Structure 1
Amino acid sequence: MVLRHLAPRGFFLCQGSARMEGNRRILSDIVASIREDAEIREVGLGRLFSCVVSKFVGLSSTLGGCEEERERQMRYKAATALELSSLAFSEDTFEASLGLSAIKSLIEVDEAGLFDINASLLITKIGRDRRVTIIGHFPFVEKLKGMAKGLWVIERRPKEGDYPEEMMEESLPSSDLVCISGTTLINHTLERVLSLCRRDAFKILLGPSTPLSSVLFDYGIDVLSGILVTSEGRLLSLVREGANFRRIKREGVVRLVSLAKDRSALWRAL
């Protein structure tokens, strides 16, 4: 069945993974798993993050430029969260960021299945003496240097010591551990990354943009490391102020959590 969700600017989403092209199939399946829609209660837009408050609170990194905030909020608050989620399929990465936040605001997370562990601790433990590829430059990269058997940090805009995207073709098939930024769902590169990984590689999707959806386990992800929002109002203020994630963590408005496909496999990997 094809469902049309009327969204801002006439953009629409066709649900059903068989009807979606390549990199949007994962997003389509996540949306299809959502049980019910909800009215949007608030939208927060900032230089670094977007936030949508509906049934729950969804936060995602902002990629690309943005228009004046009040104008955007007036346009998007008229939609329901499911309608707004269709923007996640947009080629405009600012819209895709907002759409992913809307999706995350509708995901009901079973908190009993979560465990509180910093992704950097998890990765440095699993990555010791293994070949590691990291998609996205994270602060824990320095800790892995000298610990991993081989380390490739892939970035669209490489910093010193990073590798360009083209290196994925070489590094991913030989990596034992692959750490992937949740922003790959925004720039529509996640499926490409996963297609280059070995089936037996341990794969972690991480960062504040990561949806805590078990659908991602069907695509070979072993661990999801993301956040739960603990203070909705304060988070909205921080997002609008342009706060970075370090400050958001320091303010105590999010909880760092992980969800494993198979906990016993995770403990074995550690």
Structure 2
Amino acid sequence: MDRILVLSLHGKPVPFTTNWWIKTWDRSGKPLSDKIAIQEQFVLIGQQLSARASRIFVIMDLNAKLYNLNLAHAQNVNIEILSLGLGYTAVTTSDGGIGLSYTYFENKRSCMALNRHMDYEGQTADQLLEKIKSDNPVERSMALALINALNYKEALNLPVDENNKIMFDKFNIGQDRRVAMVGYFPPLVRIFEEKGVVLEILDSSRGLGIKEEFYSKLNNWAQVLLLTSTSVLNNSTEEILAHAGQNLKSIMLGPSTPPLVAEAFNHLPVHMLAGTVPLDKEKSLKAIRHGMGTPVLHKFSRKVFMDLGF
């Protein structure tokens, strides 16, 4: 039986030699009962278990890569504005950057969205960057907005795809194309219905889809996956992509997407990063303060992409 092997780091650094608790899934996404404890060097794990596992992913390795790739820059700039809105979060930096991220609230039960008070404005950006590894999704939202701000100038030079035509053409999204979507994107859903795309959606916040069935279709049915960048905020990116079929083409999209840090995704089967770059900073910040969402933010931004290749 083919297995997908997932190594869980729980967001913490793991030494080269340590105890690895390994949980396996079959290709349908059903957990297998055995749990294996291994004490080996990381490089040996892949060699020794490759015959048993179809793919290996490290849970939340993405957060560590996003941190490491942006640390040097973050240490040399300050945060000017941190705006935490009900829909989106924005961060501006002293070198002229601005970045967006979805504000991810999880089981909000009190007036306190954060663990403790911290004034990041006027401080070096590395203090907030550290929060990409936090267990608090609001802190991760702030940190992801910062990461996009740190890469703002380079993102302005990325190719533009305002109407998604480049994405549709590159991934042959048209009649009878089998597309899986994590996160509900109403404008895209309408276009796909008009094009005759066969669509499968998973969005737990809307009660759409059954995870186990969706994961099975990712492995043996879907030809294209559209993955919301909110998956970075709820730490589900690696879990979802662990179920990707061998020929599946994946696109991460949404205003939170960090399109300039392609290296952070080199351990994952992601083929395009499609994000949003604000052009009018003041209007973007005001929209966020007023609780506006994607349709309004797009009025003051441009949609860009980075092709990671097949």
The normalised TM-score by structure 1 is 0.79
Would you tell me which structure has more helix in proportion to its own residues? 1
Alpha-carbon separation, structure 1, partners of 2:151 and 2:111? 27
Asked if residue 170 in structure 1 is aligned to residue 216 in structure 2, the reply is yes
Q: Using the aligned pairs only, state the percent identity.
A: 21
What does residue 102 of structure 2 align with?
A: 61
Q: Name the CA distance, whole Å, in 2 between partners of 1:17 and 1:233.
A: 44
1:199 touches 1:220 (CA, 8 Å); kept in 2? Answer: no
One-letter amino acid matched to 1:25: D
Name the residue aligned to 2:67: 31
Count of residue correspondences = 245
- 3-state DSSP of counterpart to 1:41: strand
Unaligned runs of 5+ in 2: 1-10, 19-56
In structure 1, list runs of 5 or more residues that go unmatched.
1-12, 266-270
CA RMSD of the aligned region, Å? 3.0
2:99 touches 2:152 (CA, 8 Å); kept in 1?
Answer: no
> Residue 83 of structure 2: which of 35, 39, 44 is its match?
44
SS in 2 for 1:114: coil
Contact 1:155-1:165 within 8 A present in 2 as well? no
**TM-score between both structures, scaled by the size of structure 2:** 0.69
3-state SS of the aligned residue for 1:75? Answer: coil
Matching residue's letter, 2:85: G
SS state at 2:205 partner: coil
Please identify which structure carries the higher strand content. 2
Pair 1:158 & 2:206 matched = yes
User: Aligned partners of 1:202 and 1:41: how far apart in 2?
Assistant: 38
Cα distance in 2 for residues equivalent to 1:149 and 1:256: 22
CA contact (8 A) 1:47 1:242 kept: yes
Q: Which of 276, 288, 295 is the equivalent residue of 1:239?
A: 288
Note the 1:125-204 alignment, pairs <5 A. Answer: 125=169, 126-128=172-174, 129-139=176-186, 140-145=188-193, 147=195, 150-158=198-206, 162-173=208-219, 174-204=221-251
Residues 182-236 of structure 1: CA distance to partner in whole angstroms, max 9, x if unpaired? 0000000000111111232111000000001212441221111101121222211
> Structure 1: which amino acid aligns with 2:293?
N
The equivalent position to 1:205 in structure 2, one of 245, 252, 259, is 252
